[in-house]
Chains A and B, each alone.
Chain A
Amino acid sequence: GAVVSQHPSWVICKSGTSVKIECRSLDFQATTMFWYRQFPKQSLMLMATSNEGSKATYEQGVEKDKFLINHASLTLSTLTVTSAHPEDSSFYICSASWARGTEAFFGQGTRLTVV
């Protein structure tokens, strides 16, 4: 149990376009989902925390108008990278938990390449 699935696993897009990444909890209701970004050989960096039905809380330095997060249901959160630029190329990972302070499970990640 406790499976979190991301889609797509990888995506290549042109500079200036927008890309949507989905994060689904397959066998539990995720009240909280987290979005991370990971550059090569670096740690995961938290971008934002989203609770179902409310606005996401963004970490300092993360542009909320560029990285749009929607958590409209207990099983789905989406991250949209708007007007993507090559420097947005990274590995984006989500995690989901069913209650504050409980174990969170990571998705398999999405490799975004902006050309």
Chain B
Amino acid sequence: KNQVEQSPQSLIILEGKNCTLQCNYTVSPFSNLRWYKQDTGRGPVSLTIMTFSENTKSNGRYTATLDADTKQSSLHITASQLSDSASYICVVTLPGGGYNKLIFGAGTRLAVHP
């Protein structure tokens, strides 16, 4: 069973609308939780990083939340743009800080239509 599960698997929204992507994890304890944006055929780009003690982090129109009690995180995108069409990946880092201890979710594929 994947330790990081994301939902929905895919999502279609209209330009200008808001959306929220979910990430449930079973990894515990963990060092930090990251959200990445991955455009098709490109490498992931970091959007937000939260330690277990943080419960929200914003980066422009992207706002990530973290509830360590329920082991859930969400990524909220405000006023979506066509360029937001991409896969959004939730990644949990295991304790120790070593970067090879990342646990990746399968991602949510977002399509923003005009």
Contacts and interface: CB of A to CB of B under 8 A. Distances in A.
B89 interface: yes
A97 B89 contact: no
Contacts of A104: 99
A4 B106 CA distance: 23
Given A43-B104, A46-B102, A109 B42 contact: yes
B11 to A, nearest CB: 14
Nearest to A44: B104
A25 interface: no
Q: Is the interface of B mostly helix, strand, loop or mixed?
A: loop
Interface residues of B, number: 20
Contacts of A41: 106, 109
Contacts, number: 52
A77 B96 CA distance: 24
A80 to B, nearest CB: 19
B100 A34 contact: yes
Given A41-B106, A111-B41, A32 B99 contact: yes
Given A41-B106, A43-B105, A43-B107, A109 B98 contact: no
19 contacts: A6-B43, A34-B100, A41-B109, A43-B2, A43-B106, A43-B107, A44-B104, A46-B100, A46-B102, A93-B44, A101-B96, A101-B97, A103-B49, A105-B46, A106-B45, A107-B43, A108-B43, A109-B41, A111-B41
Interface of A: 4, 6, 9, 32, 34, 41-46, 49, 57, 91, 93, 95, 97, 100-109, 111
